[in-house]
């Protein structure tokens, strides 16, 4: 029984130290850094791709409405 409690204590201690390390990596919000500073580079890439898709879709809609392209 004591071995199980010791094992649980060790796991709890390790988990809390990992959690503390993760909390320490965050930047304070007061430092600023721009609008996209809160996103990771992969999230920025996805946002850029979504923006590109929106622009292409809007261009297609404009071409269809003006009659340049017939569906």
Looking at residue 49, its pLDDT comes to: 98
Nearest to 38 by CA among 46, 49, 48, 26: 26
Q: For residue range 3-37, list pLDDT tens digits in order.
A: 887 887 887 777 777 667 666 655 555 566 788 88
Range name among 1-10, 23-32, 40-49, 50-59 with the lowest pLDDT average: 23-32
Residue 38, CA atoms < 13 Å, CB-side half-sphere: 5
Looking at residue 21, its pLDDT comes to: 67
pTM of the predicted model as reported, rounded to 2 decimal places? 0.50
């Amino acid at each position: 029984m004591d071995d199980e409690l010791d094992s649980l204590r060790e796991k709890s201690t390790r988990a809390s130290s990992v959690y503390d390390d993760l909390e320490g990596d965050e930047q304070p919000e007061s430092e600023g850094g721009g609008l996209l500073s809160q996103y990771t580079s992969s999230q920025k890439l996805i946002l850029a791709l979504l923006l590109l898709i929106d622009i292409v879709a809007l261009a297609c809609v404009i071409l269809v409405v003006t009659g340049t392209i017939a569906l």
